[in-house]
Chains A and B, each alone.
Chain A
Amino acid sequence: MSNREIIVENLVKKYGSEVTAVNDISLHVQSGQIYGFLGPNGAGKSTTIKILTTLGLPTSGTARVGGYDVITQSNDVRRIAGVALQDIGIDPLMKPGELLALQARLFGANRSDAKARANYLLHLVQLADDANRRVGTYSGGMKRRLDLAMALVHDPDVLFLDEPTTGLDPASRRDIWREVRRLNQEMGMTIFLTTQYLEEADELADTIGIIADGKIVTTGSPAQLKAAVGKESLNLAFAEKSLAERASQLLAPEVDRAQVDRDTVRLYMPEAARAIPGVVDRLQQANLEPISLTLTQPTLDDVFLQVTGQALESNAAQAF
């Protein structure tokens, strides 16, 4: 099998002297892996993917995709990499088969092969029944699937997906996930995926890198990252943040760790379920009434909260 690795070393991207979008990141994605690059809006995910796909240049550092240097061998990188960017790049006046065949021909396919490949890809992303419609009439989910098909037109070794399910309904999101997994398992494609959805990274990625403020703050498999947090948590939501902070001060001495995120306090401890009656008693004695009480197993959200001090899902929600 060809080299399908992604190796990034000390990558930095600055805009002017003020803004550092990517701050000295290094990562290694092995051939055939799905790497989830997880972080909130503005963390540096899209800037990194633009550099890796030859659309941007780093200020310093190096990156190799499939063995090719993204700065000096950009044509080779484009030849072996497929890219579906966050902003879907399709001409709404064209029909899907036309777009796919044109793309295939630019990559050197002859007319009949390009047509056959377009036909195959339309079936692959389940758009064959809508092949005679102009792309401008497609729903958001259909456009995403077509964009994915365009990225696959030359059977890339490495596939870059920049927030592939942002703005999609749950059903379309699951369709994309299924397709990504299939591409990885059946074709051995290395997939570099940016996302701000924890569920997506958890569902797809073999390895997750969490990025915040331009830096990778932690890396590991979903299981490793969750194990590092290790404990169940009892989550108490209050009417306002000051109440959550009071509850945190009250209960912190009795748990392994207490963390306040807006109006919620999370209490990390082993066997949290058994501790519920005692916690409720203490709160009542202090005249603190939570709005809700939930018990959760460790999730990537806990990992993110622990390493960045803020919850990711609420960040993602704010993005809409």
Chain B
Amino acid sequence: MTVQAAQLRQELPRPMGRASFWTQIGLITWQNLVTIFRRPEAVLPPIGISLFFLLIYDSTLGGAASFIPNLGSNSYLGFILPLSIVSSSLSGAGIAAQNLVRNIEDGYFDKLLLTPVYRSALLTGTILSGGFILGLQATVVVGVALLMGLQVATGVLGVLAVIGLAVLLGLGFAGFTMSAALGSGNAAVVQSASFIFFPLTFLAPTFVPLELLDGWLKTAAQINPITYVLEAMRAVLNSGWDGPVLLRGVAACVILGSLMYILTLRALRIRTTRK
């Protein structure tokens, strides 16, 4: 031992226990956020794509939006913004899973399993880091929309509600991609899983309200949870607080998120079960 190492070792207490569950969640969330932010190439493209769609849709369809009811003082921007935010949630939801699969591939996940970490803390911390990133992305997209002239009918609280819905919805998708990460341990599979939900954004009242849809598309939209999230966001942004609509949006997110959390827990159990 070098002299310096020997001096540093003097009276260093031996850590022989286990951090509390909540401390562990905080540590795992921190570890994920540190490494996600060191890969800006993972965080920035989803924001860029969402902003791109926002500008394109607003420019190309905005002029023909007079048939859409309840836009309030907003142009088509207030109607199409939720789609852009949902797109950002979808693409951003894969970020935490990509970080997880990276740690599976580089062996760090196994190293963590050799510590007294709670398996559920490992999972929850990773999901929370994903939620933080999703919130950040939604904030940027809404911020750009405000700069473009968006008037939010419900004020600052409404902006927070929209961001909250984006995070809740994104966590559900994140759960799905994380279960793909845990099940496969393969980055390519996670990448593919991130795209599975994209068609859902078009089986919804994407460009026009639900009442203007017809036939099979309307049926598909009615069973699509994204529909209720889009409607809740649009109500908050354009017409004001609408309890039942907002509740339906939150319920859609909670149901999807709960199912995906169970799926992810199961995938984690399978991966960490000793064989």
Residues of A at the B interface (CB closer than 8 Å) are 53-57, 74-75, 78-80, 83, 85, 87-94, 98, 102-109, 113-114, 116-117, 119-120, 123-124, 126, 128, 134, 150, 153-155, 182, 186
Q: Are B5's CB and A120's CB within 8 A?
A: yes
B108 proximity list for chain A (CB < 8 A): 89-91
Residue interface mask B1-17, A partner, CB < 8 A = 1: 11011001100111111
Taking a contact as CB atoms under 8 Å apart, the answer to whether B116 and A79 are in contact is yes
Q: Which residue of A lies closest to B23 (CB)?
A: A105
Smallest Cβ distance from B269 to chain A, in angstroms?
Answer: 15
Interchain CB contact (< 8 A) of B111 among A75, A89, A117: A89
Q: Which residue of B lies closest to A70 (CB)?
A: B274
Please determine whether A108 and B35 come into contact, CB atoms closer than 8 angstroms: no
Q: Using Cβ atoms and an 8 Å threshold, which residues of chain A touch B27?
A: 102, 105-106
A91 touches B19 (CB 8 A): no
- 21 A-B pairs, CB-CB below 8 angstroms? A55-B113, A55-B274, A57-B274, A78-B114, A78-B116, A79-B17, A80-B16, A85-B110, A85-B111, A87-B110, A91-B102, A93-B38, A102-B27, A103-B115, A105-B23, A106-B117, A107-B15, A108-B17, A116-B12, A117-B12, A123-B2
B residues contacting A by CB (< 8 A) are 1-2, 4-5, 8-9, 12-19, 23-24, 27, 30-31, 34-35, 38-39, 102-103, 106-117, 274-275
Give the chain B neighbours of A92 by CB distance below 8 A: 106
Which of A79, A87, A114, A186 is B16 in contact with, Cβ under 8 Å?
A79
Complex contacts, A117 vs chain B, CB 8 Å: 12, 15
In the assembled complex, which residues on chain A have CB atoms less than 8 Å from the CB atom of B23? 105
Closest CB in chain B relative to A62 CB, distance in Å: 15
Separation in Å of the A177 CB from the closest CB of chain B?
15
- Distance in angstroms from A147 CB to nearest chain B CB is 8
CA distance A162 to B30 in the complex (A): 29
Give the shortest distance, in Å, between A97 (CB) and chain B (any CB).
Answer: 12
In the complex, the answer to whether B35 meets A91 with C-beta atoms within 8 Å is: yes
Which residues of B are found within 8 Å of A85, using beta-carbon distances? Answer: 107, 110-111
Report how far A271 CA is from B219 CA in the complex, Å: 94
Say yes or no: A108-B15 contact (C-beta < 8 A), given A56-B274, A93-B35: yes
Residue from B12, B35, B102, B107 within 8 A of A87 (CB atoms):
B107
Contact of B9 among A57, A87, A120 (CB under 8 A): A120
> In chain A, what residue has the closest Cβ to B38?
A93
- For B114, give the chain A residue with the smallest CB separation: A83
Assess the A78–B115 pair: CB atoms within 8 A. Answer: yes
Q: Once the chains bind, are B19 and A57 in contact (CB under 8 Å)?
A: no
Residues of A within 8 A of B112 (CB): 106
Q: Are B2 and A107 in contact (CB under 8 A)?
A: no
Known contacts A78-B116, A83-B114, A108-B18; A89/B12 CB under 8 A: no
Question: Which chain B residue lies CB-closest to A95?
Answer: B34
A91 with B274, Cβ < 8 A, contacts A117-B12, A154-B15 known = no
Cα-based distance from A150 to B116 in the complex (angstroms) = 14
CA distance A57 to B275 in the complex (A): 5
Contact between B116 and A75 (Cβ–Cβ < 8 Å)? yes
Complex alpha-carbon distance, A57 and B272, angstroms: 12
| 10 A-B pairs with least C-beta separation | A108-B17, A89-B111, A89-B107, A109-B15, A120-B8, A123-B5, A107-B15, A93-B35, A91-B108, A106-B115
A115 vs chain B, min Cβ distance (A): 11
Q: Which chain A residues lie closer than 8 Å to B111 at the CB level?
A: 85, 89-90, 150
Contact across chains for B107 and A56 when beta carbons are under 8 A apart: no
Q: Which of A53, A75, A113, A186 contacts B12 (CB 8 A)?
A: A113
Q: Are B24 and A106 in contact (CB under 8 A)?
A: yes
Which residues of chain B are within 8 angstroms of A120 by Cβ–Cβ distance? 5, 8-9, 12
Contacts of B103 in A (CB 8 A): 91
CA distance A131 to B112 in the complex (A): 21
Q: Which residues does chain B contribute within 8 Å of A98, judged by CB atoms?
A: 31, 34
Alpha-carbon separation in the docked complex, A186 to B274 (Å): 34
What is the CA–CA distance of A75 and B106 in the complex, to the nearest angstrom?
23
A91, A92, A134 interface centre (most CB from chain B within 10 Å) = A91
Contacts of A153 in B (CB 8 A): 15
